Structure 1
């Protein structure tokens, strides 16, 4: 099966050796996506809702660049450094996925690579 690698241009991709998304067959997997602005730096510092919106913008673009659509998303994971912020992240997630309703996990982690990041998002899609 053909393997398609999708880059988001993150400065960390070559440092860590990862792709934003990988498509094999009809399966697309998007790795932990941080709230990085297009011009660099953290989007919406201190704002879990704004950071989640930015993460989801990057996730959406990665899925589309891999040949999928949001309707193909079957699973998302919302990782937060403070679980008390879950409602802010959930609101942004629901704005995008409210009618699609993928399986979703919300969890707290101890830290991310950049201490300014409050949230990261992962996603999986199956393209029909």
Structure 2
């Protein structure tokens, strides 16, 4: 098995829950569910921009970028936000077009969050 690299973020929940912002094993990078930290009071589109900015930063730390993302999972707290969130996702991934899911959930860890996104990336061998 390839060497595992845990990549920490800035979430105060990481040590409490016991997770890393991302984990890289070989050319596989799995990004944990990422909420719009610092953008709690923005609308769904603004929160999605913040989430994807945070994901871009951790991908860079892992040696990857959005072009390497093969899957995203979006968790929405309001079904009516799907189009606004989808448009922002499309702005970042319109060319890459990863496999993707959009799931409506009852709530996220922070009640102000309208979106949380996970991402998986695969670096070329």
State the TM-score, normalized to the length of structure 1: 0.92
> Which residue matches 2:28?
27
Once the two structures are TM-superposed, the CA of residue 46 in structure 1 deviates from its matched residue by 4.9
SS at match of 1:79: strand
Unaligned residue ranges in structure 1 (runs of 5+) = 38-42
Give yes or no for contact 2:6–2:20 (8 Å, CA) kept in 1: yes
Give yes or no for contact 2:40–2:112 (8 Å, CA) kept in 1: no
> Which residue matches 2:74?
78
Alignment partner of 1:5 is 2:6? yes
Q: Deviations over 1:1-36 (max 9, x none)?
A: 211111121111111111010000110000100000
SS at match of 2:92: helix
Give the alignment of 1:37-52 within 5 angstroms.
37=38, 43-52=39-48
State the TM-score, normalized to the length of structure 2: 0.94
Structure 1 CA distance for aligned equivalents of residues 40 and 32 of structure 2: 21
Give the alignment of 1:1-128 within 5 angstroms.
1-37=2-38, 43-128=39-124
Give yes or no for contact 2:22–2:32 (8 Å, CA) kept in 1: yes
Unaligned residue ranges in structure 2 (runs of 5+) = none
Quote the RMSD (CA, aligned, Å): 1.0
Runs of 4+ in 1 over 4 A off after TM superposition: none
Structure 1 CA distance for aligned equivalents of residues 66 and 123 of structure 2: 10
